[in-house]
Chain A
Amino acid sequence: MTTFKCHVGIGPTVTGEALVADDNFSARYDLDRKKGLFSRPQHKLYGKSYKDKILVLNTAKGGVATAWMLYEMKSRAIVPRAILFNQANTILMQGAALADLTMCDQFVDGDITTLISTGQQLEVNPVKGIVTLLQN
């Protein structure tokens, strides 16, 4: 099975289906958190549901609100199962720590948004810093 090495992250080991875009992320700027959809028209995942998906994106953007929002989203179970970034910012990691949401970044093999495709099944192990493609 193909594996990708990344920095040690936050949260439990999870499996799920990838939803990938070469775009950035903010829960405040980009999401309709009630409906569980990307709501910003300019976002490459506009209209897509993020519930239970493993989001694979470039980096974080915008403000600090996401740090609370991930916890609130998880409390309602309308939340991604994990988020992988080429590079996270401080807010996203802080939010993941509060919500116990799985998050990893800094992949040694290159741009993770080109190495993983939407629909692929993944296992994310943040303690070891390894993402495994469960099917090619």
Chain B
Amino acid sequence: MNLTTEEKAMLNGDLGEPLRWAIDHQVKVGTAFDAIDMVPVSQSHMMVDPESVGEAGVAFLENLANQGARVRIPMITDPRGVDLSYYGPLGQTEQMADLDRRTIAACERMGILMTDTCINYQTIMPPVFGDHVAFGDTGVVIYSNSVCGARSNFEGGPSALAAGLTGRTPRYGLHLDRHRKATRRFSINEMPETLTDWGVLGATIGKLSGSYWEVPVIEGITTAPTSDKLKHMGAAMASFGSTPLFHLTGVTPEAGSIACVGGEKLAIETITPYDLLKTRSNYGSPGDPVDVVVFAAPQLSLIEMSDLAALCVNKNFTVPVIVCTSPQVYPDATRMKLVSTMEEAGAKVLQGTCFYNQYAREIGEANGWTHLLSNSAKIVNILGGYGYKPALASMEHCIDSAVAGEII
């Protein structure tokens, strides 16, 4: 890779061990992807939940902090694994909480802003068109690339941290024009309605695309979807397909027309109602038992919180209902009595976490939860590997099922 004088000094250790580690990591990754040089980034966003990081990763972070590591650009964090104001009742242990506390302390010493959110594009500082960023969380990356027109690869925690420390990232993948052109062309004849319907569309296209290096362009979206709808579609597409970018002709900023994204010669693959039904049919049926209902993945926006609270009025849940939102949304939702409305019906609202990275296997075992119902296509995809039998339904049907104790 071509390195600047400053980057060579970093690699040589002249600017300290943390920067030597960071640029060395970036050179290794950049070499594997044929990056020619580094590109400056304006922000970094790190996934650093303790279940993923583990004892070894936390010790790694503490070691960097002890060596004086300090981020050079605004750097924020993805959801935590423990809501430190509510973890015992979930079956989470002091050991889990302590690991989370140590992670927070190490990150804060490095100057990282503990935003604990996967919806930073709705609540913190959305990237702008052409903005090179280093974002973790696949849902954040696909939304930022596709809807904002920013440029980011999936940056895992270590790479996001390296970018925060050096202020740059290897220029490969989605930072390059050639990897942003459409490679698959899909068409829909019917607009999805609910957030879950958008998630199912994203899941279906993600499964068909099936690789980080495929870029789907979708035709047939007749009106601009809301941010929450695109959030659910993108999160599901990224989860099912490892897809980091999509285009919607006439909607997303790089796809004013099919030709703008180089898709005019691609064969059209029509997504039929049967295709969507097939995706959905893997996740539960009416009459199936429900042990727990979860609204998360991504964290709920204020608008979703409002919609959910409206559905909770005069309801009395017979199974646990868990709602995950961001620490930025939570105070507003509290002030507007959305949290109290949900909790009066029997739900629990958590802030700064997301269910699937909250030691999902352990809390499932501690509470005897197997049959999990959610309106998130992303979360039902993830939790199969954690010992759950996940089911999918719209927000309304999830609420009615939480009252009935079975999928209605």
Please report the C-alpha to C-alpha distance between residue A39 and residue B241 in the assembled complex, in whole angstroms. 19
Asked if B254 is an interface residue, CB under 8 A from chain A, the answer is no
A89 & B56 in contact (Cβ 8 Å cutoff): no
Within 8 A of A (CB), among B343-397: 357, 361, 381-382, 384-387
The DSSP consensus for interface residues of chain B is: helix
B31 & A94 in contact (Cβ 8 Å cutoff): no
Within 8 A of B (CB), among A14-54: 24, 26, 28-32, 39-43
Please report the C-alpha to C-alpha distance between residue A43 and residue B384 in the assembled complex, in whole angstroms. 10
The answer to whether A94 and B212 touch (CB under 8 A), given A42-B384, A68-B54, A71-B57, is no
Distance to closest chain A CB from B241 (angstroms): 7
A61 & B385 in contact (Cβ 8 Å cutoff): no
What residues of chain A lie closer than 8 Å to B240, measured between beta carbons? 61
Please report the C-alpha to C-alpha distance between residue A63 and residue B243 in the assembled complex, in whole angstroms. 10
Asked if B6 is an interface residue, CB under 8 A from chain A, the answer is no
Asked if B242 is an interface residue, CB under 8 A from chain A, the answer is yes
Please report the C-alpha to C-alpha distance between residue A75 and residue B54 in the assembled complex, in whole angstroms. 9
Cβ-neighbour of A91 out of B55, B60, B154, B239 (below 8 A)? B154
Distance to closest chain B CB from A56 (angstroms): 17
Distance to closest chain B CB from A8 (angstroms): 7
Asked if A121 is an interface residue, CB under 8 A from chain B, the answer is no
Distance to closest chain B CB from A59 (angstroms): 5
Cβ-neighbour of B32 out of A41, A61, A74, A93 (below 8 A)? A93
- Which residue of B has the minimal Cβ distance to A97? B28
Interface size on A, residues (CB 8 A): 43
What residues of chain B lie closer than 8 Å to A90, measured between beta carbons? 29, 33, 153-156, 159, 172-173, 212
A97 & B158 in contact (Cβ 8 Å cutoff): yes
Q: Bits for B225-252, please: 1 = Cβ < 8 Å to A, else 0.
A: 0000000000000111110000000000
A63 & B32 in contact (Cβ 8 Å cutoff): no
Distance to closest chain B CB from A57 (angstroms): 12
B385 & A31 in contact (Cβ 8 Å cutoff): yes
Please report the C-alpha to C-alpha distance between residue A120 and residue B166 in the assembled complex, in whole angstroms. 42
A71 & B29 in contact (Cβ 8 Å cutoff): no
Asked if B296 is an interface residue, CB under 8 A from chain A, the answer is no
Cβ-neighbour of B156 out of A68, A72, A103 (below 8 A)? A68
Asked if B72 is an interface residue, CB under 8 A from chain A, the answer is no
Interface bracket on B: 35 or more
Asked if A84 is an interface residue, CB under 8 A from chain B, the answer is no
What residues of chain B lie closer than 8 Å to A98, measured between beta carbons? 25, 158
B57 & A97 in contact (Cβ 8 Å cutoff): no
Asked if B114 is an interface residue, CB under 8 A from chain A, the answer is no
Distance to closest chain B CB from A83 (angstroms): 13
What residues of chain A lie closer than 8 Å to B213, measured between beta carbons? 87, 89
Looking at A41, A71, A103, which has the most chain B CB atoms within 10 Å of its CB? A71
What residues of chain A lie closer than 8 Å to B357, measured between beta carbons? 65
A94 & B158 in contact (Cβ 8 Å cutoff): yes
A10 & B387 in contact (Cβ 8 Å cutoff): no
A72 & B385 in contact (Cβ 8 Å cutoff): no
B33 & A64 in contact (Cβ 8 Å cutoff): no
Asked if B136 is an interface residue, CB under 8 A from chain A, the answer is yes
- Which residue of B has the minimal Cβ distance to A43? B385
A8 & B31 in contact (Cβ 8 Å cutoff): yes
Distance to closest chain B CB from A124 (angstroms): 14
The answer to whether A40 and B158 touch (CB under 8 A), given A89-B212, A90-B33, A97-B25, is no
What residues of chain A lie closer than 8 Å to B31, measured between beta carbons? 8
Lowest 7 CB-CB distances: which A-B pairs, in order?
Answer: A67-B156, A72-B54, A75-B56, A89-B212, A40-B385, A65-B52, A98-B158
* Cβ contacts A to B, 6 pairs, < 8 Å: A63-B238, A65-B49, A89-B242, A91-B154, A93-B32, A95-B158
